[in-house]
Amino acid sequence: MKEIEAVIGESRYTIEIGNRLLLDSQRLKEKISGSGKCAVVLSNYLYDLHWEYLIEVLGGYTNKELFLMQDSEENKNYIYAENFLQGFAVKGLARDSLVWSIGGGVVGDFAGYCASLYMRGINIVQCPTTLLAMVDAGIGGKVAVNLQSGKNLVGSFHQPILVVSDTVFLSTLPDREIKCGLAEIIKHSLIGDAASMDILLKHNLESVKDESVLSELVYHSAKFKVSVVAADEKEEGLRAILNFGHTVGHAVESFMAYKDISHGEAVAAGILAESRISKEAGLLSADGLELVVDLLKRYDLFDNSINCGSDGVIEHMKFDKKNKENSVRFVLLKAPGEALYNQTVPNDIINRAVEETLA
């Protein structure tokens, strides 16, 4: 087991990374001692895949209530959240209760959002089960649900008391989900995570699937995100670099109503578009852009088949949370490993880059 100590604002918690960690119920109970009833928000898809393991894991806890979640992105909304919050009340959750999220990024965001609201906030343990969630959504305390206008527009900051990344769940991830996580890891490597960049440049989509390689990537990428969030919990400055690729990526997702595209695929398109914007704005060199393209191709994320018009995506970018004074704000690359946040560029550069990426 590898551990990362996260000290973020007034919160201090451990991120554990290893195989079959959830079976050690005694150790976990000690970590969450003092908690009352536990609401387990569990991905229904994950339960179907790993029901034997999960029954064994959850059998070690008597004071629990199980809430299965349809974990598609379109269900990450506050109407669906109201059903879960009402369920918490019916099952008798109190101020000393705990929410335990077991699933991918959608489940983690959704369960964290519910925990942040119920009785003005109760504790949550995040157990991310996808590569994407282990390096991104499960860390940092940003929880939210979507509106039709845009992604994650309703949310809060609610740090977990523990994160358990059990790599046993990575064994059943399809290639598409592995690539989703790799898109975020590539993003981290391009904005400053040198350790992950070194690993990515030594591997390809096939060799990176080795459990030991994935575990190393999870460790370094999660550690990098913790370092950024610890320096700026509420995204008042530096933490904004984590949005690289997401201004365009989130707009693609919301424009497509979160259907027929994964978060990782949208972020990969955003990374490419925003790297092109960086070059056209005179920041990123041609060699720097070539490295971005190489990484996306190496991990089969250079996708020219996204079928959505650039005009609609550009319109949805207007709802991005980072915008100020009716101006779209970007995270751009000055060089691989060096990002600049709160950047504005002329509309014609934005339009050309987005159109070229989504053509």
Residue 304: per-residue pLDDT = 63
184 noted as active-site residue: yes
315 noted as active-site residue: no
Which residue in 50, 151, 223, 239 is the catalytic one?
Answer: 239
Examine the pLDDT at 326 and tell me if it is beyond 80: no
CATH number at residue 101: 3.40.50.1970
Which residue in 16, 73, 177, 184 is the catalytic one?
Answer: 184
Residues 189 and 329 in one domain: yes
Residue 305: per-residue pLDDT = 63
Examine the pLDDT at 320 and tell me if it is beyond 80: no
- Long-range (24+ apart) CB contacts under 8 A made by 212-218 are 214/131, 214/167, 214/170, 215/2, 215/17, 215/18, 215/19, 215/167, 217/131, 217/135, 217/185, 218/17, 218/131, 218/134, 218/135, 218/165, 218/167
- Taking residues 88-99, what's their average pLDDT? 96
Examine the pLDDT at 73 and tell me if it is beyond 90: no
Residue 321: per-residue pLDDT = 67
Examine the pLDDT at 315 and tell me if it is beyond 90: no
Which residue in 50, 142, 151, 322 is the catalytic one?
Answer: 142
Examine the pLDDT at 322 and tell me if it is beyond 80: no
The share of the chain scoring above pLDDT 70, in percent, equals 99
12 noted as active-site residue: no
pLDDT-derived band at 325 (thresholds 50, 70, 90) equals low
What six digits make up the tokens of 245?
């690729």
Which residue in 158, 263, 276, 329 is the catalytic one?
Answer: 263
Residues 159 and 257 in one domain: no
265 noted as active-site residue: no
151 noted as active-site residue: no
Examine the pLDDT at 185 and tell me if it is beyond 90: yes
CA gap 127, 301 in Å, rounded: 26
225 noted as active-site residue: yes
The share of the chain scoring above pLDDT 90, in percent, equals 78
* Torsion angle in degrees (nearest 10) through CA of 178, 180, 182, 184: -150
Residues 248 and 166 in one domain: no
CA gap 231, 228 in Å, rounded: 5
19 noted as active-site residue: no
Last residue of a domain, one of 156, 171, 186: 171
Residues 241 and 101 in one domain: no
Residues 141 and 179 in one domain: no
Q: Which domain covers residue 340, as residue numbers?
A: 175-358
CA gap 358, 325 in Å, rounded: 27
Residues 192 and 281 in one domain: yes
Which residue in 76, 179, 220, 250 is the catalytic one?
Answer: 250
CA gap 339, 12 in Å, rounded: 27
Last residue of a domain, one of 137, 171, 205: 171
Mean pLDDT taken over the chain: 93
Taking only the tens place, the pLDDT of each residue in 39-53 is 999 999 999 999 999
Taking only the tens place, the pLDDT of each residue in 142-176 is 999 988 877 888 999 999 999 999 999 999 999 99
- pTM, 2 dp: 0.92
Residues 15 and 152 in one domain: yes
Examine the pLDDT at 129 and tell me if it is beyond 80: yes
Residue 133: per-residue pLDDT = 96
- Taking residues 6-24, what's their average pLDDT? 95
- Taking residues 340-349, what's their average pLDDT? 94
Which residue in 223, 246, 322, 329 is the catalytic one?
Answer: 246
Which residue in 10, 30, 52, 120 is the catalytic one?
Answer: 120
243 noted as active-site residue: yes
- Taking residues 299-318, what's their average pLDDT? 82
| Higher-confidence position of 304 and 262 | 262
Residues 218 and 140 in one domain: no
Length in residues, the chain: 359
352 noted as active-site residue: no
Residues 166 and 182 in one domain: no
Residues 247 and 326 in one domain: yes
Examine the pLDDT at 340 and tell me if it is beyond 80: yes
Residues 278 and 329 in one domain: yes
- Taking residues 88-114, what's their average pLDDT? 96
- Taking residues 334-342, what's their average pLDDT? 97
If one counts the domains in the chain, the total is 2
246 noted as active-site residue: yes
